[in-house]
Amino acid sequence: MGSKIAGTLSLLGAVALIAIWWVFLFSARPDCLDSVQLAISSAKYALSPSESGSWLFIFTLVSIFACILTGLILLFGKQKNLAMYLIAIHAVAAAFIYTWSLVVAIALPLIYLGKVQKNA
């Protein structure tokens, strides 16, 4: 049961990161522009390697992928210990990049590390 809760918490970390992208892409847009076209152009700009700060947006996409992957492994996979180690590595890397609240959202599944290791 601990791995199911940890997997759900990992998916909630992905939701927090997706919310950041949602706000970036769909808020504060002029009324004269289509929101989808503006979101696409904003994403292209943010992910352009020539722009400074694009590494942050790229890392958020990697973080979303990592949270979803570890969440699915914890919910349905067999390598639950590997997923917990990936969460720990991801949380340490995130500590150098994000604010503490996002790091907590990413590291929250580690609360169930003992239960997952015992049942794995």
Q: Which residue type sits at 15? A: V
Structural domain count of the chain: 1
Answer whether 26's CB lies under 8 Å from 72's CB: no
Residue 18 domain boundaries: 2-119
Q: Is the pLDDT of residue 15 over 70?
A: yes
User: Percentage of the chain with pLDDT > 90?
Assistant: 47
The model's pTM is 0.86
pLDDT digits (tens, 9 = 90+) for 63-102: 999 999 999 999 998 888 899 999 999 999 999 999 999 9
Q: What are phi and psi of 31, to 5 degrees?
A: -70, -25
